[in-house]
Chain A
């Protein structure tokens, strides 16, 4: 299997608290891997370490075999709370990543236009974030991450602040994105159904200190088409199996 991102023996301590202990995990190229676990299991911490936003206490992260030292052009981040600039309109928010990379204004706005169109926000370029619904704001966040065209996309519970119907639409869109964009997706979620629905590989993390307890790779139902996934027996079995192993950890 072709590995895009490797987490190698990562340990992270906050003072005396051990958040991650000796955690190793491989992320296959061009696929979506979910990090799933109960709250407080360190999945967001792990994602931020991969993003280069946090330093691991020990161990390291390799992307295409090269060790990372901080945030890089090869990764883009989608935030749980969207992290949009409230004083900037949609166009500037989407092109902000390119702006920070020094891309000229006309060029970055042309690229941003394209991704605004891709996520279905055409006509809202001049709107400000507070004028948009939660789902639309996250589309802005997604367009911003896509527009820098990095190989790895890191998503931190991207749909948890979005309403149920929008979330379902997002999940369908994720499947299409994974199929069409040649990128590696690392997806943090606390929703078992969401993880099973969108993932090629699910890593179950157990807490205190966090370690990978299980890796599940759904096989059959992905080819069945988006409308049939939730009915497939394999989908339902995996959801049950994950719940069985997580239920002891829910307080």
Chain B
């Protein structure tokens, strides 16, 4: 342990935790805990094979359509709506219940209704992603906006900030840590929504690999597909965190009032 410099410690810990998780996976697959549970190496081999023959890329080209569209819509309109709700008490009364219901609704059970209304195409899948991703983004944004410390808003007004200045230069940056945590939660939920829609509406993309592999008992490929979507989600969330740190550097290190 002594040779590990503290700078590398966090990398070391990440590798250690990955080793433990994948090691446990490998062990569980070897015991095996279930006939349908492949080992880590089998899954990685399947992932490698899918990468080599290009099928995983074809699948992602399909899955990323509802995912990126849904996440983009949820992020932009979710933050917009959240700001609106947070800034005006009337809109909270009007909209908050909708999003609280959306957040609590058993989505899988509602999918048939969406399919009846919007068919089995892209629209329904985008809807599923949005229903998963949007509520937490909206609710987090709204509460963060409402909880902006009064004294920094007063400060802005006393130094002659216009309403626009107060929103852009004070409320949004002050709310950004909570907005970003809403985005992180919302986007992870969006990933779940994208796969869910491909399992429940029509099997396409990554959802198709999962469904198809399961039906022919090719469990390594099925787990490889699940693994790949998790990796993608983690990479995306890390990227989001970098954007946040870049935009609001001082926010990263605690608050003045701490």
Binding site for B on A (CB under 8 A): 48, 51-53, 71-73, 75-77, 79-89, 96-97, 99-101, 128-131, 137, 144, 148, 154
Is A129 within 8 A of B155, CB to CB?
A: no
Q: How far is the CA of A130 from the CA of B173 in the complex (A)?
A: 16
With A71-B160, A97-B159, A100-B161 known as contacts, the answer to whether A83 contacts B154 (CB < 8 A) is yes
Q: Mark contacts of B111-124 with chain A using CB atoms, 8 A cut-off: 1 yes-contact digit, 0 otherwise.
A: 00000000000000
Q: How far is the CA of A81 from the CA of B149 in the complex (A)?
A: 10
Given contacts A85-B170, A100-B156, A101-B159, 8 further A-B contacts (CB under 8 A): A73-B160, A83-B152, A96-B159, A97-B160, A128-B249, A128-B253, A130-B255, A144-B159
Q: How far is the CA of A75 from the CA of B161 in the complex (A)?
A: 13
Is B157 within 8 A of A86, CB to CB?
A: no
Is B256 within 8 A of A76, CB to CB?
A: no
Q: Mark contacts of B43-85 with chain A using CB atoms, 8 A cut-off: 1 yes-contact digit, 0 otherwise.
A: 0000000000000000000000000000000000000000000
In the complex, which residues of chain B have a beta carbon less than 8 angstroms from the beta carbon of A79?
151, 154-155
Main SS at interface, chain B: helix
Please provide the 4 A-B residue pairs with the shortest distance between their CB atoms, ordered closest to farther: A83-B155, A87-B250, A97-B159, A77-B158
Shortest CB-to-CB span from A139 to chain B, Å, is 13
In the complex, which residues of chain B have a beta carbon less than 8 angstroms from the beta carbon of A51?
158
Q: How far is the CA of A84 from the CA of B176 in the complex (A)?
A: 16
Q: How far is the CA of A17 from the CA of B70 in the complex (A)?
A: 50
Q: Which residue of B lies closest to A129 (CB)?
A: B256
Q: How far is the CA of A86 from the CA of B174 in the complex (A)?
A: 8
Is B173 within 8 A of A87, CB to CB?
A: yes
Is A89 within 8 A of B160, CB to CB?
A: no
Contact of A128 among B151, B159, B165, B250 (CB under 8 A): B250
Shortest CB-to-CB span from B208 to chain A, Å, is 44
Is B151 within 8 A of A83, CB to CB?
A: yes
Shortest CB-to-CB span from A101 to chain B, Å, is 6
Is A71 within 8 A of B157, CB to CB?
A: yes
User: Within residues 239 to 254 of chain B, which ones have a CB less than 8 A from any CB in chain A?
Assistant: 248-251, 253-254
Q: Which residue of A lies closest to B161 (CB)?
A: A100
Q: Which of B155, B169, B170 has the most CB of A within 10 A?
A: B155
Contact of B257 among A53, A72, A81, A154 (CB under 8 A): A81
User: Within residues 200 to 258 of chain B, which ones have a CB less than 8 A from any CB in chain A?
Assistant: 248-251, 253-258
Is B250 within 8 A of A129, CB to CB?
A: yes
Is A77 within 8 A of B250, CB to CB?
A: no
Is A86 within 8 A of B159, CB to CB?
A: no
Is A86 within 8 A of B161, CB to CB?
A: no
Q: Mark contacts of B157-195 with chain A using CB atoms, 8 A cut-off: 1 yes-contact digit, 0 otherwise.
A: 111110001000110011010000000000000000000
Q: Which residue of A lies closest to B154 (CB)?
A: A53
Is B250 within 8 A of A100, CB to CB?
A: no
A selection of 20 A-B contacts at a CB cut-off of 8 Å is A51-B158, A71-B158, A73-B160, A75-B158, A76-B158, A77-B154, A77-B158, A79-B154, A83-B155, A85-B174, A86-B174, A87-B249, A88-B250, A89-B250, A129-B256, A130-B253, A130-B254, A130-B255, A144-B159, A148-B159
With A79-B154, A83-B154, A87-B250 known as contacts, the answer to whether A130 contacts B258 (CB < 8 A) is yes
